[in-house]
Structure 1
Amino acid sequence: MKKIQIFEPAMCCPTGLCGVGIDPELLRMSTMLNNLKKNGVEIERFNLTSSPMEFINNKTVNKYINENGVDVLPVTVVDGEISVSGRYPTNEEIVRYLGISVSTIDSQPKVAKVRRGR
């Protein structure tokens, strides 16, 4: 399976899902990554604020940011090569990179039905 890493801009928390206005794209990414994890697929995600050494230690990302600035973030690296920059990968791109079914990403968590007493 391919190794996928996502290098994100500085955010107040590791997922960016905090504060009053939640970015729908960050919510999509978190949901997708959680669904993948539940199905045994891990994608590494690094935030510039909480994991700055990952940006320094990854020579490809470090060089790319030094040449183009942090406005190119987020950057998606697949098997050591930059595949997407300036945006998050689509669900379809992730499916293609991993060679998995789209249902692995789109599966919704089961919500328990609450029965009210009479």
Structure 2
Amino acid sequence: MTTLTVYDPAMCCSTGICGTDVDQKLVDLAADLDWLKAQGVIVRRFGLSREPAEFAANETIRQIMQDSEGDDLPAFLVDGALKAKAHYPSRAELAEWAGLAALELEITEQVRELIALGAAIAASCEPCLKYHTKKAQEVGLTDAQMREAIAVGRMVKEASAKNIQALAEKLIPEPAKASSCCGSPKAEPAAATGCCGGSTKSAPVKEKAGSCC
């Protein structure tokens, strides 16, 4: 079984979304590594900030650290052999290293950015929206295409909000409200209250403005 080991440079986290700006390379790598795991590849990932001992324990990585003082990170080893350093590989490269068949369906950069725009709206992620709007323009997407992706994301967000609100109302229902004057069984007679515009006396009763019924 193939084992891929990733040695990341010093950083706060490996997700790419922990700061104010999104690092798309790290976001893509995280998705690609999850895909490799789903194909049966063993994936091990170490960060210089979190697991420095792992860097010192591997001779290949130790040599890279000595030669470049860490500038050649990240580094990727497959079954102990160095495959790449100083850059993050594409999914196609990772698949080739692991001996996996080429992907039949390739998501283009334009499709990826449309998905990201919709997801940014659904997640209410401002940094994500700013980043992917700029990226979408760079890969040639039109304003109309971006607006369509945003509309889809908004529909997903609104449907989710509506469904969760309905569940909340079901789990924690509103208390029943008190009935109005005309529906109360203990209401005073019409002559005494003037309600509903009638009186039992012969003299007509002038209807008050705004009275019920």
TM-score normalized by the length of structure 1: 0.79
Partner of 1:6: 6
State the alpha-carbon separation in 2 of the partners of residues 91 and 44 from structure 1.
16
Greater fraction strand: 1
State the alpha-carbon separation in 1 of the partners of residues 102 and 11 from structure 2.
28
Larger Rg: 2
- The answer as to 2:16 corresponding to 1:52 is no
Q: Secondary structure at the match of 2:42?
A: coil
Aligned-residue offset at 1:31: 1.0
Partner of 2:25: 25
| C-alpha spacing 1:88/1:50, structure 2 compared with 1 (3 Å) | same
8 A contact 1:14–1:50 mirrored in 2: no
- Indicate the structure whose relative CO is greater, using CA pairs within 8 Å and at least 6 residues apart: 1
Q: Secondary structure at the match of 1:70?
A: coil
Matches within 5 A, 1:82-101: 82-101=82-101
Aligned-residue offset at 1:16: 3.9
8 A contact 2:6–2:45 mirrored in 1: yes
Aligned-residue offset at 1:32: 1.1
Aligned-residue offset at 1:102: 4.3
TM-score normalized by the length of structure 2: 0.46
| C-alpha spacing 1:37/1:92, structure 2 compared with 1 (3 Å) | same
State the alpha-carbon separation in 2 of the partners of residues 34 and 85 from structure 1.
20
Aligned-residue offset at 1:14: 4.0
8 A contact 1:7–1:47 mirrored in 2: yes
Aligned-residue offset at 1:76: 0.8
Residue identity in the other structure for 1:60: T
Aligned length: 113
State the alpha-carbon separation in 1 of the partners of residues 40 and 58 from structure 2.
24
Q: Secondary structure at the match of 1:71?
A: coil
State the alpha-carbon separation in 2 of the partners of residues 63 and 11 from structure 1.
20
C-alpha RMSD of the superposition: 2.8
Residue identity in the other structure for 1:68: S
Q: Secondary structure at the match of 1:11?
A: coil
Q: Secondary structure at the match of 1:99?
A: coil
Gaps of 5+ in 1: 108-112
Q: Secondary structure at the match of 2:61?
A: helix
